Structure 1
């Protein structure tokens, strides 16, 4: 027995020794090495040296081995791209790993750095070009031509400047938020509907062709005029026309009175839409929209706060207002630029761990082909352009952080025509603070991809997805929006061939658009006929005007919950009759097949589908088996919601007598309208194909969740759900602890803080006007000065979230039911809550939780019947609750429409809830209702 034990121990020793020998360690350090051999004692000095050493080693060591490169702490500056090719990769079970010795302590950069010693005080000539606020604060550095070139060529290509871990702001006006368009002098030429034979007219600074306008906010336009005449480089970068179309243009002229002319054509026209009905002729009376939002970039005379900078390309000068004068001497000031940092060309089984990639140029990382390459626990920050492009198979990111860049990731892969999956992925990553606005800051285009357990926050950049089998699971999206109108965090549009995509068990919350814009934001959109996505078990809280928009076929919405969203679901009214369907086909024939307009525009749907997957591929394998409804909807109706469904939905906005009030069909088809209140089902059938399936949504309350104030939307055990309802599992959402992310943020902590920050609404959030201080709620970087929001802790009730209501079409805040100003007997009120009586009960009510207001003494309001909507009279009642019992505190006489408002005030001390009730036929107005202290 003893001998057998000795033999066994010896055998185990031999086996363990064999395994140990299958891993080869290499070392790299920034320390100067003249005879480095890659050992721990004599490490290599560069990544190239260790890569080349591994290549040489493998020539004489043919057995399978893992190679682990330990990168010592320090800064590694790359003058050229570090390229790994197929020969540099590993094989299954034996990867090649480039690992930071200490996570987050290895910094890789391609940027030139600037010494604080090169900055000086501005001369008198330079001071004359500055904003008065900047005088005495702004420093100037004289740069070489080579350094100036690192900032780009101007005319929209302005480069970037970083200060330590922060990205600074190019001089602009205003610093945050937008200016508003005032008068349109000339709408100017447009580009959106150029025919195949048409081209944009020639233009130059000597002979500009762009439109002309003025803006509401005023500044010293004489400085602008002088600067533009000198540099010919000030840029408009806002929303000249459509809320969802950012339209950057160069300025050609600025008068001292503030009239601005653009250099060339815009996409849609200035201030409104020059064309109506799609491909129609010029509209002689364009529809001008309110609150067109403009921002102006690269304006030296508007450099007026710490952290702003400007490059004078004529005189090779950098102007900078330092963030922190005390830390200026030791600050790392870099110009994010340079070549790609790392390229993986057809490599397999390569892993990069714990590295900080910072201060890069147009792109940091390119994974081109290959398989099983992973970037884990890395940070990408302070980038002029984007973090990475990825294709190949089984490649991805795990537990990485991405922030301070323009756009971020482009993930592609798989095969559209064979449905072969690439299995590329993004898992457990943190995304925030991107410069770009719109869609595509993160894009997933391909077949078979996963975006899972990530958090995306503090951005106005959406995620674009397109293809097959793309899955979004267990992600959290919050504190996003603000830039674009009609914006969505997840967007797929105009592709009727997409199928098999899933958005499941995600949490969307605190998404805010600009008050007053024509097209508020919604969390998710499958736009312009987009198809083939299932949305299941998601939570939507404060996601703007709604939660989901779908417009095309084979989209399924199931088991979702929406809280404080205007609607659960919105869509376009699409053709469903044979005549209407043929009319849609005819428009495609007339406009695209005839060659009138270039092929491939988003309306050219059938052509685009065949370009992606092949001629009538929906009738062939693999599509016929994989997606049985695909051929059906392409044959019957590819334009509407064919073979789609919306079932088992919950919303706190549901009117239980008219539950379809949270479904809205865009284009003046409102499901809440009825003849006698009994024809919702008939109207649904009129609006949709017969293959569209639905059931009525149900009401839910904030009190039905485990811990609403920490945004835990786990349902209480006693809540009765639809049969088969699959609730969102909140425990699975967001970042989690793993080998690479050892200290994820505490979700309860940051969610509770968001609840506190956003529990009061901007009073203008209903769209009546544009509050100038809306920008104060924008997410900002830590170095920027946060301006306090002047808001009492006892605001108007219209700015407080309710915990339940009964009202036909839901309550209105700071507006009447036609969207106009509140009026009682001709007197206007800026603030208030409007309640239309429920048709069955003949009354309306709204309930508020008072636990957030422990020191309140009372409530005051002006009560009366709305002038603009409804008829008859109503009685106003105020009830309050101590513990579980309601007590009537006030009851008015009957107030008729047209009768002057009545001022009331009631004491509330000691109560935990309040309920405002109106009984009768009139629409009740609780004008200027507010708590008193």
Structure 2
């Protein structure tokens, strides 16, 4: 053993290999399971780094590739599973359809599944040459709208509009799946259809609707009415458009209408059958640790939207506790430089106890739900329990075009955890937030150098960054009642500040940094916000300083402020332009523009100071003068618009300056300040604007 200490042992895996081989490069194993056994055996005799090189090809896993404590390495002897240099192996949770396609009718092809294939789970996704196909649906694109629905939970039915509904007769309506948004567009829900009554134009819901948080049940915010767009899929009679498919599970017949030009007999047809592809599975007492996974395409996990979802805390909606890559009870493990597509639910999920893991340099696209989730147990007080993720790093990931099925999702979702770092990610084209912190337990996160744009594309009342703080001291009456209250002991839950710094947020529809519903203990500084601003709703102990807000769809605002909130808003630059004042996706603010106002306060505290400090800011707009709009409580009773002199008489912005901040080249996106900018005289400090987003070692091997 001593003569091979500190060397690097290598094994090899190839689709042309054999598990009876020795695992050397010229005689590789055939499976990663065999390689994992070889690593365990080798570890009994030596203590040195071990690398398993995986050659090109697709590895269809019979079960999730699962790493336990016995598979662990150490800080000095890391265990690494990685792609062979220059090659792109695929770890798949799917199966390849190998039957023969025969013409059926009207451009539809039919494939009789082989006996082994018909035993697979009733798959809900089909991929052809790597591209997800569309389950037969109505309408073929876009949405329908109900004639009538139910505002209150539980939803049991809705009435369709016979003028726009299909004229086809469905033989198996109970197989259909309904995808529907709530009326306020916070997200969508899915149900199995229970029945279709054409005599009353009624659709009855079966199992589903799991995406709603229990606290939202009964709330009209999640109700269904004529605004609740929907579509229905998995209906054989609606298979009438290129790319659509349908599985007759009873007969084991697969139907597909190939897009024009497709050679069906040469096409690679794959279906997901595993919910997890890779799992790191340990416990707090016996963790899996020091294992690295690098350079793979990870694909073909099943959809989860009709599986069990749960509300980890009091954020709006729910999550499915799982991902194509799942980590639980893991320490010092790494998932890096992988390409994750064709996953039906979340791509990566750090569940409960996790410490010092690293998700780095991956591309995640077209995931069914969220990109990366970091979620603790439902026990919301620390005490002696440690079933939550902490000190993990989510960095240098490219996350885009996710939320294929679930719309209340995020590029990175964080709940019931602390001290995690989310940095240098490029997140865009997501249906809701790029980064969402679901609750105030327990803070300490660092969110920095992310490049975020094109968010909230399919929902409303949100921003590129969103947080909730509906923890023990959040007051529902404060949020929706006529009075204002103190915040309570919020730092018992939000124990450490969340730092949001040096990010670029670009959007043009709603809020940029949305600190919603009691979000507390935040330090927000050195952020460049283009087309968006910031909202402080309820909450406590928030310091907003040294940020640049450009042409926001909404002006910065305090909403439903707590008494004695300790909030500070200082040394920021605010530029507003009335032609960009168009919060089109914000249900509360799209009713009318704010006419170029610098601030819009909605329901500030009634008794004490609105903020601890509001000063030393530079503001500018297209109207040529300062305006602040304040809607006093009780809401609807009184609205005032103040000029700068009146505003300062109220005690706000006494040292602030109205004037051009003097950007170097704003029309071309250069928001650095000229030396003579008035902001410098007020204490504003320049910050880096060339480090947003991905780092130089990001790889695009699989794109």
The alignment's TM-score, normalised by the length of structure 2, stands at 0.74
Judged with a 3 Å threshold, the aligned counterparts in structure 2 of structure 1 residues 721 and 302 are, in CA distance, closer, same or farther, namely farther
Q: Aligned ranges for residues 419-434 of structure 1 at < 5 Å?
A: 422-434=390-402
Task: Look up the match of 2:66.
Answer: 83
How many angstroms apart in 1 are the aligned matches of 2:26 and 2:625? 78
How many angstroms apart in 2 are the aligned matches of 1:27 and 1:478? 41
Task: Look up the match of 1:706.
Answer: 665
Checking the alignment, whether the CA contact within 8 Å between 1:222 and 1:256 is kept in structure 2 is: no
Q: Aligned ranges for residues 61-140 of structure 1 at < 5 Å?
A: 61=46, 64-102=47-85, 105-115=88-98, 118-123=100-105, 135-136=106-107, 138-140=108-110
Checking the alignment, whether the CA contact within 8 Å between 1:75 and 1:106 is kept in structure 2 is: yes
Residue 458, structure 1, aligned to residue 429, structure 2:
yes
How many angstroms apart in 1 are the aligned matches of 2:607 and 2:138? 43
Q: 3-state SS of the aligned residue for 2:102?
A: strand
1:425-471 C-alpha deviation (Å, 9 max, x unpaired): 11100111211211455322301001100011122143332431111
Checking the alignment, whether the CA contact within 8 Å between 2:503 and 2:692 is kept in structure 1 is: yes
Paired residues, number: 597
1:39 corresponds, among 24, 27, 33, to 24
Task: Look up the match of 1:398.
Answer: 360
Question: How far is the alpha carbon of 1:500 from its aligned partner?
Answer: 0.8
Q: 3-state SS of the aligned residue for 1:352?
A: strand
Checking the alignment, whether the CA contact within 8 Å between 1:419 and 1:447 is kept in structure 2 is: no
Q: 3-state SS of the aligned residue for 2:58?
A: strand
How many angstroms apart in 2 are the aligned matches of 1:159 and 1:303? 15
Question: How far is the alpha carbon of 1:189 from its aligned partner?
Answer: 6.8
Q: Aligned ranges for residues 194-273 of structure 1 at < 5 Å?
A: 210-214=157-161, 218-219=164-165, 221-223=166-168, 226-227=169-170, 230-251=172-193, 259-263=201-205
Checking the alignment, whether the CA contact within 8 Å between 1:23 and 1:66 is kept in structure 2 is: yes
Question: How far is the alpha carbon of 1:539 from its aligned partner?
Answer: 1.9
Q: Aligned ranges for residues 831-910 of structure 1 at < 5 Å?
A: none
* Higher helix proportion: 1
How many angstroms apart in 2 are the aligned matches of 1:146 and 1:468? 49
How many angstroms apart in 2 are the aligned matches of 1:50 and 1:240? 48
Question: How far is the alpha carbon of 1:638 from its aligned partner?
Answer: 14
Checking the alignment, whether the CA contact within 8 Å between 2:631 and 2:640 is kept in structure 1 is: no
Question: How far is the alpha carbon of 1:300 from its aligned partner?
Answer: 3.8
Judged with a 3 Å threshold, the aligned counterparts in structure 2 of structure 1 residues 523 and 144 are, in CA distance, closer, same or farther, namely farther
Judged with a 3 Å threshold, the aligned counterparts in structure 2 of structure 1 residues 28 and 677 are, in CA distance, closer, same or farther, namely closer
Judged with a 3 Å threshold, the aligned counterparts in structure 2 of structure 1 residues 244 and 71 are, in CA distance, closer, same or farther, namely same
Question: How far is the alpha carbon of 1:29 from its aligned partner?
Answer: 1.7
How many angstroms apart in 2 are the aligned matches of 1:443 and 1:29? 35
How many angstroms apart in 1 are the aligned matches of 2:145 and 2:656? 41
Checking the alignment, whether the CA contact within 8 Å between 1:98 and 1:353 is kept in structure 2 is: yes
Residue 657, structure 1, aligned to residue 622, structure 2:
no
Task: Look up the match of 1:171.
Answer: 136
How many angstroms apart in 2 are the aligned matches of 1:652 and 1:676? 13
Q: 3-state SS of the aligned residue for 2:298?
A: strand
1:709-730 C-alpha deviation (Å, 9 max, x unpaired): 3x44333444332533234522
How many angstroms apart in 1 are the aligned matches of 2:152 and 2:115? 37
Task: Look up the match of 2:557.
Answer: 570
Checking the alignment, whether the CA contact within 8 Å between 1:365 and 1:387 is kept in structure 2 is: yes
Judged with a 3 Å threshold, the aligned counterparts in structure 2 of structure 1 residues 109 and 252 are, in CA distance, closer, same or farther, namely closer
How many angstroms apart in 2 are the aligned matches of 1:669 and 1:682? 24
1:541 corresponds, among 515, 527, 530, to 530
- When the two chains are superposed, the root-mean-square deviation of aligned CA atoms in Å is 4.3
Judged with a 3 Å threshold, the aligned counterparts in structure 2 of structure 1 residues 392 and 675 are, in CA distance, closer, same or farther, namely closer
1:386 corresponds, among 341, 346, 350, to 346
Task: Look up the match of 2:501.
Answer: 504
Structure 2 gaps, min length 5: 210-215, 305-322, 472-489, 566-604
Checking the alignment, whether the CA contact within 8 Å between 1:660 and 1:696 is kept in structure 2 is: no
Task: Look up the match of 1:736.
Answer: 695
Judged with a 3 Å threshold, the aligned counterparts in structure 2 of structure 1 residues 313 and 28 are, in CA distance, closer, same or farther, namely closer
Question: How far is the alpha carbon of 1:307 from its aligned partner?
Answer: 2.5
Judged with a 3 Å threshold, the aligned counterparts in structure 2 of structure 1 residues 725 and 212 are, in CA distance, closer, same or farther, namely same
Question: How far is the alpha carbon of 1:108 from its aligned partner?
Answer: 0.8
Q: Aligned ranges for residues 409-420 of structure 1 at < 5 Å?
A: 409-412=372-375, 416-417=382-383
How many angstroms apart in 2 are the aligned matches of 1:72 and 1:163? 23
Task: Look up the match of 1:53.
Answer: 38
Task: Look up the match of 2:460.
Answer: 485
Q: Aligned ranges for residues 607-686 of structure 1 at < 5 Å?
A: 653=621, 657-661=625-629, 668=635, 673-674=640-641, 679-680=646-647
Judged with a 3 Å threshold, the aligned counterparts in structure 2 of structure 1 residues 211 and 452 are, in CA distance, closer, same or farther, namely same
How many angstroms apart in 2 are the aligned matches of 1:333 and 1:355? 20
Judged with a 3 Å threshold, the aligned counterparts in structure 2 of structure 1 residues 399 and 575 are, in CA distance, closer, same or farther, namely closer
Q: 3-state SS of the aligned residue for 1:55?
A: helix
1:141 corresponds, among 111, 127, 137, to 111
Checking the alignment, whether the CA contact within 8 Å between 1:553 and 1:640 is kept in structure 2 is: no
How many angstroms apart in 2 are the aligned matches of 1:303 and 1:239? 23
Task: Look up the match of 1:921.
Answer: none
Question: How far is the alpha carbon of 1:489 from its aligned partner?
Answer: 3.0
Task: Look up the match of 2:520.
Answer: 531
Residue 310, structure 1, aligned to residue 246, structure 2:
yes
1:180-200 C-alpha deviation (Å, 9 max, x unpaired): 44x43xx43722xxxxxxxx6
Question: How far is the alpha carbon of 1:402 from its aligned partner?
Answer: 0.8
1:336 corresponds, among 272, 296, 320, to 272
Task: Look up the match of 2:336.
Answer: 376
Q: 3-state SS of the aligned residue for 2:455?
A: strand
Question: How far is the alpha carbon of 1:150 from its aligned partner?
Answer: 4.8
Residue 448, structure 1, aligned to residue 448, structure 2:
no
1:114-156 C-alpha deviation (Å, 9 max, x unpaired): 13x5322224xxxxxxxxxxx32x322233687467564xxxx
Judged with a 3 Å threshold, the aligned counterparts in structure 2 of structure 1 residues 640 and 70 are, in CA distance, closer, same or farther, namely farther
Deviates more, 1:315-324 or 1:676-685: 676-685
Question: How far is the alpha carbon of 1:113 from its aligned partner?
Answer: 1.0
How many angstroms apart in 2 are the aligned matches of 1:163 and 1:541? 39
The alignment's TM-score, normalised by the length of structure 1, stands at 0.57
Judged with a 3 Å threshold, the aligned counterparts in structure 2 of structure 1 residues 724 and 151 are, in CA distance, closer, same or farther, namely farther
Q: 3-state SS of the aligned residue for 2:348?
A: strand
